Chains A and B, each alone.
Chain A
Amino acid sequence: MSLKSQYTDLKASFSSKPPDLQKCGRLLTQLKLGLIQAGLLLPQGDLNQGDLVVAREILEIGAFWSIRTQDVPAFDRYFSQLQTFYTDYTTLPPSQHEYAIRGLHLIRLLTQNRIADFHTALESLPAAALESTYIAHPVNLERCLMEGSYAKVWSARAEAPAAEYEYFVDSLMGTIRNEIASCEEAAYESLPLKDAATLLFFASQRELLVYAEQRGWEVNLNLGTITFAKKGEETMDIPKEKVIAASLLYARELEQIV
Chain B
Amino acid sequence: MAPDIEMKPADKKEDDKKKKDDEKKDSKDKEKEKEEPPKPPPTPVQEIKANVALIERAVEALEPRFAHRALRTLAALRRRLNDAVLRDAVEELFKDSPTKQALLAWLPEAPPADTAMEVDSTSNVTTTAPTHKAVTTEPLPEVDMYLRLLIIHHLDSSSSTYSKAIDLAHETVAKMQALNRRSTDPIAAKIWYALERAYELGGDLSDARPLFLAAQRTASLRHDDETHASLINRLLRSYIHSNLYAQADKLISKTTFPPAASNPQLARYHYYLGRIKAVQLNYSEAHAHLQQAIRRAPAPTRAPGFWQAVNKLFVVVELLMGDIPERGLFRHPVLEKALQAYFDVVKAVRTGSLSQFQSTLATHAATLSADHTYTLVARLRQNVIKTGIRRLSLSYSRIALRDICVKLHLDSEEDAEYIVGKAVRDGVIDGKVVHDKGWVECAGAGAGGAGRGYGPEVGDVFQRRIGYCLELHNQSVKAMRYPLNAHRKELAAAEGAREREKELAKEIQEGDLDDDDIGGDF
Contacts and interface: CB of A to CB of B under 8 A. Distances in A.
Interface residues on A, range: 35 or more
Given A116-B280, A151-B414, A182-B425, A123 B243 contact: yes
Nearest to A146: B382
Contacts of A160: none
A239 B243 contact: no
B505 interface: no
A113 B369 CA distance: 27
B245 A123 contact: yes
Given A149-B418, A187-B420, A123 B412 contact: no
A213 to B, nearest CB: 21
Contacts of A146: 379, 381-382
A72 interface: no
A236 interface: yes
A124 B243 contact: yes
Interface in B454-481: 455-456, 459, 463, 466, 470, 473
Nearest to B431: A187
Contacts of A180: 418, 421
Interface stretch (B118-126, B133-141, B177-185, B432-440): B432-440
Contact of A187 (B244, B375, B424, B436): B424
Interface residues of B, number: 42
Given A149-B418, A191-B435, A246-B459, A120 B425 contact: no
A116 B276 CA distance: 11
Contacts of A152: 411, 415
A148 B466 contact: no
A184 interface: yes
A87 interface: yes
A150 interface: yes
A148 B419 contact: yes
A191 B417 CA distance: 13
Given A124-B244, A125-B243, A183-B421, A239 B382 contact: no
Contact of B433 (A122, A124, A151, A187): A187
Given A123-B375, A124-B245, A146-B382, A186 B421 contact: yes
B155 interface: no
A199 B417 CA distance: 9
B470 A115 contact: no
Interface string B260-299: 0000000000000000000111100000000000000000
A150 B410 CA distance: 13
A87 B415 contact: no
B329 interface: no
Contacts of B414: 151
Contacts of B470: 250, 253
Contacts of B281: 115-116, 119
Given A124-B244, A152-B411, 15 more contacts: A119-B379, A120-B245, A120-B246, A146-B381, A146-B382, A147-B415, A148-B415, A149-B419, A186-B421, A238-B456, A242-B459, A246-B466, A250-B466, A250-B470, A253-B473
Interface of A: 87, 115-117, 119-127, 143, 146-152, 179-180, 182-189, 191-192, 195, 199, 236, 238-239, 242-243, 246, 250, 253, 257
Interface of B: 243-246, 249, 279-282, 369, 374-375, 379, 381-382, 385, 410-412, 414-415, 417-425, 431-433, 435-436, 455-456, 459, 463, 466, 470, 473
Closest 3 CB pairs of A and B: A148-B422, A183-B421, A187-B424
